[in-house]
Structure 1
Amino acid sequence: MRIPLLLQQQDNIDIIKQKLAEAPDEQYGIGIFIGNMLPFVVLVILAYLMYSYMKNKSNGDENLLDD
């Protein structure tokens, strides 16, 4: 399972390198960096919002998060 993931990551790196090589100017690299980091940042923010929501919701109910 790890090998296909590693191959996919290598393909993504190759695509990014190709985009940078074909870039019209140096500023294009900033856009590529932001575009690659944006999904990760959105997921982190979403996870934090869900965590804080559940934490605030469980303040009134002590057994909400217990198994």
Structure 2
Amino acid sequence: MQPLSAPQEIPSAAGDRHSASASAIVAGVAAIGLVAGAVTMWVQYGTAVFFETIAAGWQACF
């Protein structure tokens, strides 16, 4: 038995997956950079100064 119509190709969403994974990588790199900066500040300035700096930053933003 022959099919009545030719099979149609379903377009893939490979481009969408590629851009989603690229944005996830960028977000991951940014998060790692923020954590590395926080650890660097902690080591350089000590605990008390680190928390005071973070608190001053929050107060300046809000």
The TM-score, its normalising length taken from structure 2, stands at 0.49
State which structure, 1 or 2, has the greater radius of gyration over its C-alpha atoms.
2
TM-score (norm 1): 0.46
